[in-house]
Structure 1
Amino acid sequence: MKTIALASATALLLLASPTFAAEGVELGVLDCAIEPGTGFIIGSKKELSCTFNSAEKTFAAETYVGDVTKFGLDIGTTGTTMMQWLVVAPSPEIYAPGVLAGDYVGASAEATAVVGAGANVLIGGSSKSFTLQPVSVQAQTGLNLAVGVTQFRLRSVGN
């Protein structure tokens, strides 16, 4: 179990480093509120709601809903978590309203003892063309330890 935790944490650090980050164009920022919940040792699933604000000011803000599922070690309870990701794509032409909808996956690690922090780099969306890179590391309250793989699902709402 220690080996899995160490390997997951190492992968997370590599994915989060600027040298590993995919080259591309910054499309904007995705702000998400992740509902409170409890991890059950082998994983957890929490609902989320997000707003995407395009770097191109001619596009209106977009609303997304979905869920985040963690597979792996996830023990404890957390309050509402606020996350902010930079949305990166291979080119600006790929963007259209609602295009961020889809499934994202990546390595994750977080630790919480009353107030904690974590980082997640996720890849996916339509055509698996988008990278979500953490801008604001999550702030959460509770008591929790989570290391593993994260699946992040977004659905467009009225876009």
Structure 2
Amino acid sequence: MRFRAFLALIIFVICSGQASAQSPVDLGSLSCSLAQARNFILVSKMDLDCTFIRIDGGKEKYQGRIQRVGVDLSIRKNFVVVWNVILSGNTKNPGSLAGEYAGVGADVSLIVGPGARVLVGGGDDAITLKPLSITGVRGTGASLGVESFVLSPAS
């Protein structure tokens, strides 16, 4: 119960701080899947292969890395996360999702389970991942921590 209240408070603070002179525009979705994970109980890193699918159907490939400081007692066999991508500025250039994001994340699984990420930031502070993402985890364990997410164009 306390975790839900904490998560709701964080979402409220993040959303209230994202006011802009322009109305946000939905650009599409960013889907990332696990390429490699390293867990060290208090620190974990996940390398991700990501695809941004624009509203117009165009696609861009990215590489991402989530680094977490907190408790991570997970053994992941599969991990997929999907964010809605919104534009709060004027930039719509290819590769403009690249940047650094930060927030909190949590996963719980017993064979299969849900997760959530609250992350803000992005390239030129004009593009933001919608605060709450949907995560699907296959594996066993639980994790909760402060996360950074770095997204760069795939090479």
Task: Tell me the TM-score normalized by structure 1.
Answer: 0.80
* Maintained 8 Å contact 1:123/1:129: no
The answer for the alignment partner of 2:100 in structure 1 is 103
Equivalent residue in structure 2 for 1:13, among 8, 19, 25: 8
Residues 73/136 of structure 1: CA separation in 2 closer, same or farther (3 Å cut): closer
The answer for the alignment partner of 1:71 in structure 2 is 69
Residues 108/135 of structure 1: CA separation in 2 closer, same or farther (3 Å cut): closer
The answer for the alignment partner of 1:53 in structure 2 is 53
Deviation at 1:62, TM superposition (A): 0.4
Deviation at 1:115, TM superposition (A): 0.6
SS in 1 for 2:73: strand
Count, aligned residues: 148
SS in 2 for 1:154: strand
* Maintained 8 Å contact 1:34/1:82: yes
Distance 2:127 2:140 in 1: 31
Deviation at 1:39, TM superposition (A): 2.6
The answer for the alignment partner of 2:137 in structure 1 is 140
Deviation at 1:104, TM superposition (A): 0.8
* Maintained 8 Å contact 1:40/1:74: yes
SS in 2 for 1:94: coil
Which amino acid is the alignment partner of residue 39 of structure 2? G
Deviation at 1:123, TM superposition (A): 1.2
Distance 1:39 1:30 in 2: 24
Which amino acid is the alignment partner of residue 40 of structure 1? F
The answer for the alignment partner of 1:114 in structure 2 is 111
Residues 112/36 of structure 1: CA separation in 2 closer, same or farther (3 Å cut): farther
The answer for the alignment partner of 2:80 in structure 1 is 82
5+ long unaligned stretches in structure 2 = none
Distance 1:11 1:74 in 2: 19
* Maintained 8 Å contact 1:31/1:82: yes
* Maintained 8 Å contact 2:107/2:137: no
Deviation at 1:28, TM superposition (A): 1.0
Please list the CA deviations of residues 41-87 of structure 1 after superposition, one character each: whole Å capped at 9, or x if unmatched: 21210110111111245xx3100012111111111211121111100
* Maintained 8 Å contact 2:96/2:127: no
SS in 1 for 2:97: coil
**Alignment root-mean-square deviation, CA:** 2.5
Which amino acid is the alignment partner of residue 55 of structure 1? I
